[in-house]
A and B are shown apart, each in its own frame.
Chain A
């Protein structure tokens, strides 16, 4: 096969390739080091020691003060649920949760369910660039609030929330603060000991560890109620025999992420910027979404007006390029991404949003190929669009094509 046809993976916010060094580190824990770390014998002791190392590696990546603040879980979603449900169980008199309109479904779906259970949920709206209003946030902080949960980085646009500041404000009001940092960890420097963040969720497979392992950071002294009971593992805070291979892998991946954080914020960032500028220079009626000055270094989310994302992805896939879309069709729902809707992106653009998310494996040659591939795809699909005529959108597109709901 021609080298130009090797696949290009620009969907690293969905999941990442497991680093070969991580695979190598974890493999012995399926074979010779199969012991249960709870066992007294040598088989168990070896594994226990490896878990201790992994815990220290994650601690270092997060800048946590104590290694006991790291609780291994099965995934980001479990960490999120554990954090919020713990805050509610530990403070039964507080029945309010503050979150944002653009969180991951791991938080939003849980919050919808909490409302059915008679909790009150405030979802902070965002502006056109995906930013929340800190004054509005401050006005909601009250003694009846059990927990604030705000994502560190948005999975679709990469927009960063000022979680340090938000945590300070919550702390002053005596409210627990949780952040879903699944997209942020490994991409931007994090130093939890110098923040007021009480809880943080991370997921292994977003930072070149395998799926099936995550972490809940729990600040020492923060009141806690476990989600799972039934064992002393993780100091009784997460019962269940440890996923030792996964935990060892996450430890190794954390070490590598720390070593590469500079690369992410220089090389990867430059490639992302080149990709975004390259596409926007050649495709008219397209724009980057989110807070472009304050976002993850690896993420670019581009809205292509008047076309639909699934078509773009299918045509990209034909050229061996993998990305993702906020369109309804690709998710199996009928509505475009809640993040795009929260930012007020019109439907004609929201359905055509494409997220390119890079990693430390992304190369310059790959970015050049994508920059060349995208403009003809947009042109091809626009030829089919009822909003498009010749080389430009039709005049007054919303009036020119106003279909009857079918």
Chain B
């Protein structure tokens, strides 16, 4: 079951302002009975000051829907309509010390009921622009229409990108197959020469990262990361110099860092141990696993590639 905060539980077990208000002059009905969550918000507004004197709710829905409704009425009572409209769904969730991610839509429903009730009071039409599609991401309540629109508008090609743009797939990951199908569908609409599918292997795995983006996981840019490598090596050099040796940094390619041991270090019997020590220091400084290799390995690799 859900892990509700004490505050959510308390507002569910003892809801504030439940029931109808006599003489309400602003009413907002929102929600979806199909989805099992619907809310009627009733306001009694003082026309001279636009202050909400009373607010109450009737909710058909789960524990968090009832708690969110209760919280909303407590938050807006005594506010002017303009101030009340500044209340966000996050404010409702915060008032309850947070809601489980799968239940955030309850707070969204609260905010929409508020907009609808105020529009009703002002004699304005309020309509929701929500276009209903098959629900893909259950954690964040993102439907297929939304994902498809965002994929098409932004030319997205991977599940990771879809998550970054819409949050869909960002929690339990069980909808990744569904997102992949949408990507495939949108991708198939494009002329074939621009078709590009993201690789099926895990793109977050360290080995799959290209050298240019390898640093992002540590939170450093490529430049910052190389500077860190340099700084770390600078700190090591005095020790080598004491033994009449030295080192130079030749190349950083993703997880492979190529260095040249020079002076007394070159050809030293302890070269392997020295490299190992440098590697340990670099791993520690960068917060990631890297391999330190002698520069001659780089030359061999280039020869193979060429």
Contact of A406 among B20, B66, B113 (CB under 8 A): B113
Contact of A401 among B38, B57, B63, B138 (CB under 8 A): B38
With A311-B66, A383-B18, A403-B29 known as contacts, the answer to whether A336 contacts B58 (CB < 8 A) is no
A contact residues, total (Cβ < 8 Å): 35
B39 neighbours in A (Cβ, 8 Å): 386, 403
With A311-B63, A385-B58 known as contacts, the answer to whether A330 contacts B30 (CB < 8 A) is no
Q: In residues 276-315 of chain A, which contact B (Cβ within 8 Å)?
A: 306-311, 313-315
- In the complex, the answer to whether A401 meets B40 with C-beta atoms within 8 Å is yes
The residue on A at minimum CB distance from B19 is A383
With A329-B37, A334-B138, A404-B127 known as contacts, the answer to whether A311 contacts B31 (CB < 8 A) is no
B12: Cβ under 8 A from any A Cβ = yes
A347: Cβ under 8 A from any B Cβ = yes
- In the complex, the answer to whether A335 meets B34 with C-beta atoms within 8 Å is yes
Contact of B31 among A309, A335, A406 (CB under 8 A): A406
B62 neighbours in A (Cβ, 8 Å): 308-311, 327, 329-330
- In the complex, the answer to whether A308 meets B112 with C-beta atoms within 8 Å is no
The residue on A at minimum CB distance from B174 is A332
The residue on A at minimum CB distance from B30 is A406
- In the complex, the answer to whether B38 meets A403 with C-beta atoms within 8 Å is yes
- In the complex, the answer to whether B61 meets A308 with C-beta atoms within 8 Å is yes
Q: In residues 170-201 of chain A, which contact B (Cβ within 8 Å)?
A: none
A311 neighbours in B (Cβ, 8 Å): 12, 61-63, 66
- In the complex, the answer to whether B36 meets A327 with C-beta atoms within 8 Å is yes
- In the complex, the answer to whether B35 meets A334 with C-beta atoms within 8 Å is yes
Contact of A334 among B30, B36, B40 (CB under 8 A): B36
What's the nearest-Cβ distance from chain B to residue A334, in Å?
4
A391: Cβ under 8 A from any B Cβ = no
B contact residues, total (Cβ < 8 Å): 46
- Against B, the Cβ 8 Å flags (1 = close, 0 = not) of A2-46 are 000000000000000000000000000000000000000000000
What's the nearest-Cβ distance from chain A to residue B86, in Å?
19
B59: Cβ under 8 A from any A Cβ = yes
Q: In residues 39-60 of chain B, which contact A (Cβ within 8 Å)?
A: 39-40, 57-60
- Against A, the Cβ 8 Å flags (1 = close, 0 = not) of B55-85 are 0011111111110000000000000000000
What's the nearest-Cβ distance from chain B to residue A57, in Å?
35
- In the complex, the answer to whether A384 meets B58 with C-beta atoms within 8 Å is yes
- In the complex, the answer to whether B33 meets A347 with C-beta atoms within 8 Å is yes
Q: In residues 96-152 of chain B, which contact A (Cβ within 8 Å)?
A: 102-103, 108-109, 112-113, 116, 126-128, 130, 132, 135, 138-139, 141
A347 neighbours in B (Cβ, 8 Å): 33-34, 36
- In the complex, the answer to whether B60 meets A386 with C-beta atoms within 8 Å is yes
The residue on B at minimum CB distance from A310 is B62
A402: Cβ under 8 A from any B Cβ = yes
Contact of B33 among A310, A314, A348, A383 (CB under 8 A): A348
CA distance A402 to B116 in the complex (A): 13
- In the complex, the answer to whether A404 meets B63 with C-beta atoms within 8 Å is no
Most chain B C-beta atoms within 10 Å of own C-beta, residue among A327, A351, A389: A351
What's the nearest-Cβ distance from chain A to residue B275, in Å?
42
CA distance A129 to B132 in the complex (A): 30
B13: Cβ under 8 A from any A Cβ = yes
- In the complex, the answer to whether B36 meets A336 with C-beta atoms within 8 Å is yes
A328: Cβ under 8 A from any B Cβ = yes
The residue on A at minimum CB distance from B100 is A332
- In the complex, the answer to whether A405 meets B31 with C-beta atoms within 8 Å is yes
CA distance A351 to B64 in the complex (A): 15
Contact of A386 among B32, B38, B102 (CB under 8 A): B38
CA distance A347 to B113 in the complex (A): 21
A388 neighbours in B (Cβ, 8 Å): 58
With A327-B62, A334-B141, A385-B58 known as contacts, the answer to whether A314 contacts B12 (CB < 8 A) is yes
Contact of A310 among B38, B63, B135 (CB under 8 A): B63
A139: Cβ under 8 A from any B Cβ = no
- In the complex, the answer to whether A328 meets B35 with C-beta atoms within 8 Å is yes
A330 neighbours in B (Cβ, 8 Å): 1, 62
- In the complex, the answer to whether A328 meets B29 with C-beta atoms within 8 Å is no
Contact of B128 among A383, A384, A385, A404 (CB under 8 A): A404
What's the nearest-Cβ distance from chain A to residue B130, in Å?
6
Closest 8 CB pairs of A and B: A329-B62, A310-B62, A386-B58, A406-B30, A351-B36, A406-B112, A403-B29, A386-B40
Interface of B toward A, CB cutoff 8 Å: 1, 9, 12-13, 15, 18-20, 29-40, 57-66, 102-103, 108-109, 112-113, 116, 126-128, 130, 132, 135, 138-139, 141
User: 9 A-B pairs, CB-CB below 8 angstroms?
Assistant: A313-B1, A328-B35, A336-B34, A336-B36, A383-B18, A403-B29, A404-B128, A405-B128, A406-B130
